[in-house]
Structure 1
């Protein structure tokens, strides 16, 4: 995966923001640097909660930026073997986000999830003055095996530093949903708001319980337990599943509801991703649809899945190419605690889409 430049990240972030910032980006003619100060200097062109956060809580905007960066990396990991691989370092990427296709649904969801995740994590780490660990609530007792170390009958108590996901949820909602108010006959707004919420729910609804045992000689006479967010890779995996089963929808007659397309299809719930337009096949580069094409992509000549040459190369075939790469080899562990490796050059056979 190629590293993202600040300019590429800026493009990704600005295009994800509400329509007023998209207009600002096109007016400027070049993407804003992925920097909270650069974003907040534009507050005269922002409104509502976004401007308020920039003016009163710029440190929150810094976490929003981190969340967007994390979302980019996760999107590229999840789609690394697909025809559309979430590549943001090309001139076509903006076209993708202007369509109501399922790829856009994933991008919005993973970004909203990234923002809730980074803001909540910053609270737990003590990096934000206005929040901290979660306030203990009257939850049901945790499972005795919540962390694999508990024992039946051991006493327990809520403690430690639980993640205050409610605070992260609210800040993600304020920033990501700003200027995306539900309006009459605005199917795009309804879809964006729904996918933002699906991303947040992929974090909020899957909090896990962690416990630490206390007692003499390794016994577990008392457990201290707290709530933690799922790892972000789990969030990405879960949203990819939702992407694969995304619902095609259309706007209802009242302009305020969405209904699934097709017969005998259950309505999507809050965890589902939704879209209204079919995706292009992404086989050929196409400026109009935003497809970068798959020519030159590395494929798996023996695979039959989405990364296999037959699917990835769209039936055009592929060529075999030998490349020389440098890898770490003959690694040795030295006490304590360093691993020293030599550099070796090896030849690799790659399959490249025609």
Structure 2
């Protein structure tokens, strides 16, 4: 059986052959993601629920791959100014996934959220036969999100709401499958918790959209439906959870996680958790998977994580002028051509040494 860290994100694989045996490494962001069938090519190595999806619902597996890519892109955006910037180098990334650190917690959460998001979105767009809009019709006395004095307009649930329950279930089925095999293992418990935190950040923050119906633009009747939050909002919320993540250790019963420290409250289902301290990510380190920060662009005036002092780990930085071409002085010519000149733009950058 494969170690859990190798199969937690059972999405894209790299076959490494250091010996006569073949070891299977899971690594989000591998180019094989462009072919979703690659996920299912080795079904004997997938957990039961994953193999079942591959065999019976391959269209959903394609959305799983899209969701994983969505999660990785968001991870790279949220960590773009940090020492570890969610770099997807195959070997480095695999080393990161082995550890129970904050960064791994965020990767699991945002990827699980991405899968739930992509599957739900595909349902709403009519791209999956197994699901569609969330069309449960309900009535209430006051329109959703409306405060006192909102008026007495007739309204009802309708439209094409996002069926987030379906996306949530499929993400849980695929992303949790391997970890459920060993729930007494502390890493499995942490992985399952962080996967759930990601999905709940999609599910628990659905927004209400409404459309008015009536003569002359009046709002005599209003139809409302539930939509998922923008995925950037999901990433922002999970980054907040990352910044306030809880350190935990395994309980004596092998089934519970206990926060480390005195008088620390138990993390809730949407908190991110970890059990090991992160490396400083200052220098390249094969053991930890740190790519280092040498050559990274930093902000010479910022005092936050993007500032040169922090990002360059006190090694200093050098200023460099870079030149590049961009369109300028664009003019529209009737009809229908836009012509632009090419201008040379110079920009001063600060580079970590």
TM-score (norm 2): 0.89
Matches within 5 A, 1:239-318: 239-318=238-317
Residue 340 of structure 1: how far off its partner (Å): 5.2
Match of residue 8 from structure 1:
none
Contact 1:15 1:94 in 2 (8 A): no
Match of residue 169 from structure 2:
170
3-state SS of the aligned residue for 2:168?
Answer: helix
Contact 1:142 1:225 in 2 (8 A): no
Contact 2:176 2:192 in 1 (8 A): yes
Between stretches 151-160 and 211-220, larger displacement belongs to 151-160
Deviation track 1:108-134 (CA, whole Å, cap 9, x = no partner) reads 000000000000000000000010001
Residue 182 of structure 1: how far off its partner (Å): 6.3
Match of residue 9 from structure 1:
none
- Distance in structure 1 (CA, Å) of the matches to 2:24 and 2:174: 23
3-state SS of the aligned residue for 2:91?
Answer: coil
- Distance in structure 2 (CA, Å) of the matches to 1:90 and 1:24: 11
- Distance in structure 2 (CA, Å) of the matches to 1:89 and 1:21: 13
Match of residue 82 from structure 2:
82
Is the alpha carbon distance of 1:345 and 1:91 closer, same or farther for their aligned partners in structure 2, counting shifts above 3 Å? farther
Is the alpha carbon distance of 1:244 and 1:220 closer, same or farther for their aligned partners in structure 2, counting shifts above 3 Å? same
Is the alpha carbon distance of 1:199 and 1:240 closer, same or farther for their aligned partners in structure 2, counting shifts above 3 Å? same
Match of residue 212 from structure 1:
211
- Distance in structure 2 (CA, Å) of the matches to 1:38 and 1:49: 17
Deviation track 1:257-297 (CA, whole Å, cap 9, x = no partner) reads 00100000000000000000000000111111111100000
Contact 1:64 1:118 in 2 (8 A): yes
3-state SS of the aligned residue for 1:123?
Answer: helix
TM-score (norm 1): 0.89
- Distance in structure 2 (CA, Å) of the matches to 1:298 and 1:78: 16
Deviation track 1:69-88 (CA, whole Å, cap 9, x = no partner) reads 11111000000000000000
* Structure 1 unaligned regions, length at least 5: 1-12
Match of residue 9 from structure 2:
17
Residue 52 of structure 1: how far off its partner (Å): 0.5
Match of residue 7 from structure 1:
none
Match of residue 92 from structure 1:
92
3-state SS of the aligned residue for 2:210?
Answer: strand
Contact 2:323 2:344 in 1 (8 A): yes
Between stretches 23-32 and 253-262, larger displacement belongs to 23-32
- Distance in structure 2 (CA, Å) of the matches to 1:42 and 1:140: 50
Match of residue 116 from structure 1:
116
Between stretches 67-76 and 337-346, larger displacement belongs to 337-346
Deviation track 1:192-236 (CA, whole Å, cap 9, x = no partner) reads 000000000000000010000111111111101000000000000
Match of residue 58 from structure 2:
58
- Across the aligned residues of Structure 1 and Structure 2, the Cα RMSD in angstroms comes to 2.6
3-state SS of the aligned residue for 1:87?
Answer: coil
Between stretches 35-44 and 112-121, larger displacement belongs to 35-44
Aligned length: 339
1:69 to 2:69 alignment = yes
3-state SS of the aligned residue for 1:349?
Answer: strand
- Distance in structure 2 (CA, Å) of the matches to 1:189 and 1:23: 22
Between stretches 26-35 and 111-120, larger displacement belongs to 26-35
Residue 327 of structure 1: how far off its partner (Å): 2.2
